[in-house]
Amino acid sequence: MSDTNDAQRDSESLLHLLQQHYGDRLTPNELEEVKKGIDGITAMAAALRRVKLENSDEPFTVFVPYRGKG
């Protein structure tokens, strides 16, 4: 299966779960906005899953120079 299909299936599952728990409290417009947010999050998660990491890969370190007290 492709990442797009996986992300879409994840989005649908999360939206279904949300509708079961909070559907009676959300208007159709609010539900559509939540769906857009869920779609964005699952798309970003799919993009992160595509990044292949080796066991030896380390986190990126941000260098912040010391500027003295003040």
In the chain, domain spans = 3-50
For residue 40, the tally of other CB atoms under 10 A from its CB is: 11
Task: Split the chain (70 residues) into runs of 10 and give each run's mean pLDDT.
Answer: 80 94 92 95 92 91 86
Tokens encoding 65:
């120079």
Q: For residues 46 and 55, give the distance between their C-alpha atoms in angstroms, rounded to a whole number.
A: 20
Tokens encoding 5:
């299909």
Question: Does the predicted TM-score (pTM) go above 0.75?
Answer: no
| pLDDT of 6 | 85
Amino acid at the residue 35: K
